[in-house]
Amino acid sequence: MTADLATSCLERSAMSSPLAPKSSQATELCHIHNLQVCAGQKKLLDVPHLQLYAKQLTTFIGPNGAGKSTLLHSLLNCTGHTRLKTTGTINYVMANTDGSPHRNTPHSLISQGKIAWVGQHEQFELPLNVLQYALLGVSPQLAWYQTPNVAQTTKARELLHQFELIHLQDRRVSGLSGGEKQRLAVVRALMQDTQILLLDEPTNHLDIRHQRFLLQYLKELVSTAHKTLLVVLHDLTLAYRYSDHVVLMDKSAVVAHGSPEHVMTQERLSGVYQTPIETYDTPNGRLFVS
């Protein structure tokens, strides 16, 4: 089967399968095969097969310790710990300049500047102010002797304004509040202007209004700039409302994946989280309450 034919088959199946995301525009981002991550004898992740989609907002949900961050790190190809052994393959499908798909490894995508990342534990003990930290996002594009140009600085200020941080632009990053640091980490990643963004619990420390703003912002990045978002979330209501594709994880494995309606059933979630979960349909979407 040629790559072109494979993609068109995927698009057809995306329209009919409950495993596929909501949008009929879904195309393949990557294929995971036999991915296993181990720490000694302990298996942290075991994913025999999983397909992820481009130009979609995919969320990874599941209880603490399920393996969500480990999977995201694997997608970055940096488990970040020499004791962890990773086996299996992750093949990204990215378009060539003529639009036809070609395959890539996570490592080559990072070096090409196609993936940006916000982790759970970003480093803020740095002698930088807020604007300088935001501009770290463009540092991979600069030679050692260059400083950010006017356009890059203007863009950083615009993003700081949108994320309500502009009044703090001269403030040392180490002194920011938890929510301000979290928003700044997202701004730094957005400054990288990559096709793919991986965000591990980006709503951590955010109040309810900023959580909603962030998810709305990410959703618009997908719909208007056709970015690919892979996001770990704990808030089931937000995951249901904003995701195109949901990957539910438990005990180092993928339990279910597909559209939110398909994956996030009351019965399945109650079983995985080991607590009764009620759902309520409101004019503003479905609420999940434990």
Ligand X SMILES: Nc1ncnc2c1ncn2[C@@H]1O[C@H](COP(=O)(O)OP(=O)(O)OP(=O)(O)O)[C@@H](O)[C@H]1O
Interface contacts to ligand X, rule CB under 6 A: 39, 44, 62, 64-70, 81, 83-84
Q: Closer CB to ligand X, residue 83 or residue 209?
A: 83
95 token code pair: 């378009």
Judge whether 109 and 52 are in contact, CB under 8 Å. Answer: no
Name the minimum Å distance from CB 78 to ligand X. Answer: 12
164 Cα distance to chain centroid: 22
Judging by DSSP bridges, how do beta strands 253-258 and 245-250 pair with one another? antiparallel
56 or 70: whose CB is closer to ligand X? 70
Smallest gap from residue 153 Cβ to ligand X (A): 34
Nearer to ligand X, 120 or 169 (CB): 120
Nearer to ligand X, 39 or 95 (CB): 39
- Select 45 or 93, whichever has its Cβ closest to ligand X: 45
The distance of closest approach from Cβ of residue 135 to ligand X in the complex, given in angstroms and rounded to an integer, is 29
d(CA 224, CA 55): 10
Minimal distance, residue 233 CB to ligand X, in Å: 10
Q: How far is the CB of 253 from ligand X (least distance, A)?
A: 11
- Burial class, 91, CB count within 10 angstroms (exposed 0-12 / middle 13-18 / buried 19+): middle
Between residues 65 and 140, which has the closer beta carbon with respect to ligand X? 65
Q: Least CB distance from residue 255 to ligand X, whole Å?
A: 12
Beta carbons within 10 angstroms of residue 64's beta carbon:
7
